[in-house]
Amino acid sequence: MNKPMASRGISALILLAFAGQALADITPPPFLATNGSRAFTFSATEAPKEFQLAASNEDAPGAYPAISTDFTGRVLVHGINSSGGGTFYQLRGNPSNLWLDPIASTQSAYHSFTYVGERMFGVKNFQGSLDEIVELNPYTFAEVGSFGIFDLGIGGLAYVPNLNEFVVSDTRTNSFYGIAYDGGGDRGSVRLIGHAGMRWGANGLEYHDGVVYGTAIRGEDMQLVFGSVDLDTGHFTVERVLGEAERGAVGFGFVPAPGSVALLGLGGMLAARRRR
């Protein structure tokens, strides 16, 4: 091969690498949705695959309402125990073979949790119709403070950086609300984003690249649906029906997480390295 041809070949490879990186940044990673002890993995282009989410401890929960990724790239899942407390697990394996390893037990059960940088926040019932957002130690998962108590039935919780808000789903009004983060010290102001355009039961939310995605039990037909939230109007656009829903908890997250190497092979690690 002469030098001009080699140069053109190298240029083409560079362009392909940039194109691949751009697609990786735009396309969301594979999804994980839970409904009770059932789980579904799927992507923007692949149909959902259903399986039982197994935990490697004897007192495994029957419901997993919360999924998110910590700042180290670990995919974490929270399960509710029969005692009313909960357990945090790390998700292990790959999208075709996933299981849970217990990390820590908690006195409270959390509906959802999310991260703002290295800070961790979870949602639990305070009393009656009131829910509380609390800050958790991201290493021990102990509660270290209260962000605020809200007259909302919070199903999903996701931090949206460009809004500097927690976006939450209220199961009582079927609406989305924004809660100002304001440094995460005290209770932020609450604003109505808008009605979802559907009735729902349990649900979960997660943020990626400007979009809040989620799954929910659709009240009209008891289907477990996946979609995205219009952050201007609150409308929830259903993009896929995952299957018949079971009454109980619903969680939602990414597998693997954006930029994570925790569940990836060599190709994923190289892609993650390119994005840094």
Residues 238-272 pLDDT 10s: 999 999 999 889 999 998 755 554 443 333 332 33
Q: Model confidence at 97, in pLDDT bands (50, 70, 90)?
A: confident
d(CA 86, CA 205): 19
d(CA 85, CA 79): 9
Helices (H), the chain: 3-26, 266-275
Q: Which of 61-65, 124-128, 138-142, 209-213 has the lowest mean pLDDT?
A: 61-65
Mean predicted lDDT score pLDDT of the chain: 83
Better-scored residue on pLDDT, 224 or 29: 224
Q: Model confidence at 5, in pLDDT bands (50, 70, 90)?
A: very low
Q: In this predicted structure, what is the pLDDT of residue 20?
A: 39
Question: Could you give the count of Cα atoms lying within 13 Å of 125 in the half-sphere of its Cβ?
Answer: 9
Q: Is the pLDDT of residue 16 over 90?
A: no
Both tokens assigned to 214: 């989620």
CA distances to 173, 196, 236, 244 from 177, in Å: 10, 10, 13, 27
Q: In this predicted structure, what is the pLDDT of residue 1?
A: 47
Where does residue 65 fall: left (phi above 0), alpha (psi -120 to 50 degrees), or beta otherwise? alpha
Mean pLDDT of 40-50: 89
Q: What is the pLDDT of residues 199-215, one digit of tens each?
A: 999 999 999 999 999 99
Q: Model confidence at 91, in pLDDT bands (50, 70, 90)?
A: very high
d(CA 247, CA 218): 11
Contact (CB, 8 A) for 84 and 109: yes
Q: In this predicted structure, what is the pLDDT of residue 165?
A: 97
d(CA 239, CA 215): 10
Q: Model confidence at 95, in pLDDT bands (50, 70, 90)?
A: low
Q: Is the pLDDT of residue 7 over 80?
A: no
* Whether this model's pTM surpasses 0.85: no
Contact (CB, 8 A) for 157 and 114: yes
Q: Is the pLDDT of residue 222 over 90?
A: yes
Residue with tokens 């190298």: 10
Better-scored residue on pLDDT, 25 or 211: 211
Q: Is 23 helix (H, G, I), strand (E, B) or coil?
A: helix
Q: What is the pLDDT of residues 152-180, one digit of tens each?
A: 999 999 999 999 999 999 999 999 999 99
Contact (CB, 8 A) for 70 and 115: yes
Please state, for a pLDDT cut of 90, what percent of the chain lies above it. Answer: 63
d(CA 111, CA 90): 17
